[in-house]
Amino acid sequence: MLTNPRPLTGARAALSLKQEYEEFILQRIEEFKDQLARSELLTIADEAVRELEMGSDDQLVLTEVLVLEQVDRLIMRRLNLPTHRRWRDRHLRLRRAQREPTHWGLDPDTPLQRFVTPGFEDETALVVGGGVAPAAFYLASHGRDVLLIDSELTAVEGAEARAAGEALATHFQALVVHLGTWIPDVRPGLAVLDPATLTTLESPRRLDVIEELKRRTPAGGTHLILPSEQADGVTSLAPEAMQTYYSDWSLERPRRRGQLRWFLATRP
Give the mean model confidence (pLDDT) for residues 85-98.
91
- Residue 195's Cβ-count burial label (10 Å; 0-12, 13-18, 19+) is buried
CATH 3.40.50.150 given to domain 105-266: yes
Give the mean model confidence (pLDDT) for residues 197-220.
91
pLDDT band at residue 2 under the 50/70/90 scheme? very low
- pLDDT digits 0-9 by tens, 122-156: 688 999 999 999 999 999 999 899 999 999 999 99
Return the pLDDT at 10: 47
Structural domain boundaries of the chain?
17-81, 105-266
Residue 61: pLDDT over 80:
no
- pLDDT digits 0-9 by tens, 240-259: 778 889 999 999 988 666 56
Give the mean pLDDT of the chain: 85
The model scores a pTM over 0.85 = no
